[in-house]
Amino acid sequence: MIDEHGVELACLHALGLLDQTDAADLGEAAGPGSPLENLVRDLSEAAAALALAASTPPPPALRSRVLAAIGSRPEGRENL
């Protein structure tokens, strides 16, 4: 069972509105595999889906620009 405060923290996390104190509280409460962790993930996906409602094709030139830009960059640099 997730209490109301847990639900509120999960919503704030999903919308990127958590402050550091609340983030720490949520981190402690939402252990791996816990119902709260699942709720955090579900609400984050629901919030991200809002971007789909705003879908707008970018200018075609942006695709070329992005693909050209990765041509000069190594991938997975963070793991090296």
Q: How many CB atoms lie within 10 A of CB 31?
A: 10
Among positions 44-73, residues that touch other proteins (CB under 8 A) are: 44-59, 62-63, 65-67, 69-71, 73
Sign of the torsion angle spanned by Cα atoms 27, 32, 34, 36: positive
Q: What are phi and psi of 59, to 5 degrees?
A: -60, 140
Query: How many chain residues are in contact with other proteins, going by CB under 8 A?
Result: 42
Question: CA 3, CA 10: separation in Å to the nearest integer?
Answer: 11
The verdict on 28 binding other proteins (CB under 8 A) reads no
Q: How far is the CB of 20 from other proteins (least distance, A)?
A: 13
Interacting residues with other proteins (CB under 8 A): 7-8, 11-12, 14-17, 41-59, 62-63, 65-67, 69-71, 73-79
